Chain A
């Protein structure tokens, strides 16, 4: 149901949390990873950046996070630099193997100077919301891939971020686990409404989660389509078999197919 105006969209233009203007990135090797990226992300949106491998979507996410500088163009924040109000989830769980689940989730708060006692309530609530209650003392190696990713998401959420950046977080998981995590992430987003930028190469995942999809093509990475997904929230597993969902996926796939061909 692309472009059918069921969603209120005034937020999109009027209230962006950040805006990229003419952003390009050329690596020292001379490879042009991104070119002329214009993207304004409204506050509270769930935006997926969809594209094949090597289209620069991870690089774009790193630029937004401030982990890599843009070669050209600029990144403007609506209310100053968000700094530590950004949560980042990598493709790998990226946990500290020597630390327990609790200590891994404590990390961002510890770095912000919060004591263990002062952090305990926030950590307990975050762990519970991701179904990790009772696993506080477990070490990462004792957990399954899906559980490790839950810990990684908990770590990103424990600071109550304004902006959540996810870089293909579920790409390495099996399908059932991925579905469960999609639904749990969506449920949390519906409750908290942080702004989400979600990088993926899966059309189905992008359509299921987001209210806006930005399609990118490689060499150099450019945005070739930017479309709203007007499927109503709350969405649950039932959506995966809905005709609307299938229609959306087909339309986005076609766009992506054109782009890559």
Chain B
């Protein structure tokens, strides 16, 4: 028992110590070589900038997160629905799946300018870009999950004369849930990346400006500490999204799925 506790403390303390060591070294290098902040700011300057500029950047973070959340939601709804359709009709799956793959493998940076030209509303254009990146893992994973229900259970449902809807509701959907959630966890991070890439391409000024544009702006103006501060917020947002989705996964399937069970050796 005490062995497990010690392990747990080490699990938390070791990466923290490594991080602190890295930051200290970084600060030392910057000071030792008198590197100017517009080339490489030390962590203390970045922290100070984050403290000072943070509130003004928060508005931009909110814009980026709104796009991310909307794109993820659209990916969940449309990706999930498409996967369910695929599971109902093999022909539909064969017909459409290759196009989902094409959409996935085409670099978003390359299509984003087109989408921004075609879609008038900037928010919507950014949303579409982020959605394209986010939706494939959900479609692919959920389709796989819907098709990997236990063969014998499928037979049992047939034996009892289950309708298509009953088989979907009581067998295929629950069996697909772990796969779907794994897809959502990947898509959460991808939606954020998609939103950032789209903002880079769109480069909107004006009132509704996302964090990615703030990063570009700070770069142009050589406000490198501010750039680092914005970058830090972006990473934190990505980590938070992942943590929330992991928590959701544990909440939804933790009581039965192998991946979420505590291991006892």
Residues of A within 8 A of B (CB): 62, 65-67, 83-84, 86, 88, 90, 92, 94, 96-99, 107-108, 110-112, 139-141
| Interface members, chain B 154-184 (any A CB < 8 Å) | 155-162, 166, 170-171, 174-175, 177
Q: Which residues of B contact A140 (CB under 8 A)?
A: 256
Q: Which residues of B contact A92 (CB under 8 A)?
A: 152
Contact A67 B153 (CB under 8 A): no
Report if A139-B156 is in contact (Cβ < 8 Å); known contacts: A96-B171, A111-B162.
no
Complex alpha-carbon distance, A165 and B5, angstroms = 51
Query: From residue A154, how far is it (CB to closest CB) to chain B in Å?
Result: 14
Complex alpha-carbon distance, A151 and B120, angstroms = 59
Query: From residue B30, how far is it (CB to closest CB) to chain A in Å?
Result: 53
17 of the cross-chain contacts (CB-CB < 8 Å) are A62-B155, A65-B159, A90-B152, A94-B153, A94-B156, A96-B174, A97-B257, A98-B174, A99-B174, A107-B160, A108-B160, A111-B160, A111-B161, A111-B166, A112-B160, A139-B255, A141-B261
Question: Total A-B residue pairs with C-beta atoms closer than 8 Å?
Answer: 53
Chain B 98-129 interface mask (CB, 8 Å, partner A; 1/0):
00000000000000000000000000000000
Beta-carbon nearest neighbor of A88 in chain B? B159
Contact B158 A107 (CB under 8 A): no
Query: From residue A35, how far is it (CB to closest CB) to chain B in Å?
Result: 24
Complex alpha-carbon distance, A92 and B153, angstroms = 10
Contact B153 A86 (CB under 8 A): no
| Interface members, chain B 242-265 (any A CB < 8 Å) | 253, 255-258, 261
State whether the Cβ of B53 lies closer than 8 Å to any Cβ in chain A.
no
Query: From residue B158, how far is it (CB to closest CB) to chain A in Å?
Result: 7
Contact B158 A97 (CB under 8 A): no
Q: Which residues of B contact A84 (CB under 8 A)?
A: 159-161
Query: From residue B63, how far is it (CB to closest CB) to chain A in Å?
Result: 38
| Interface members, chain B 57-108 (any A CB < 8 Å) | none
State whether the Cβ of B150 lies closer than 8 Å to any Cβ in chain A.
yes
Q: Which residues of A contact B166 (CB under 8 A)?
A: 111
Contact A66 B159 (CB under 8 A): yes
Query: When A and B form their complex, which 3 residue pairs have the shortest distance between CB atoms, in order from nearest?
Result: A94-B152, A111-B160, A98-B256
| Interface members, chain B 176-196 (any A CB < 8 Å) | 177
Contact B156 A88 (CB under 8 A): yes
Contact A86 B159 (CB under 8 A): yes
Q: Which residues of B contact A94 (CB under 8 A)?
A: 150, 152-153, 156
Contact B156 A110 (CB under 8 A): no
- Other-chain residue from A62, A86, A98, A108 in contact with B253 (beta carbon distance below 8 A): A98
Complex alpha-carbon distance, A83 and B162, angstroms = 12
Q: Which residues of B contact A67 (CB under 8 A)?
A: 155, 158-159
Q: Which residues of A contact B157 (CB under 8 A)?
A: 111
- Other-chain residue from B153, B155, B159 in contact with A96 (beta carbon distance below 8 A): B153
Q: Which residues of A contact B258 (CB under 8 A)?
A: 141
Contact B256 A97 (CB under 8 A): yes
Q: Which residues of B contact A112 (CB under 8 A)?
A: 160-161
Q: Which residues of B contact A110 (CB under 8 A)?
A: 170
Query: From residue B172, how far is it (CB to closest CB) to chain A in Å?
Result: 11
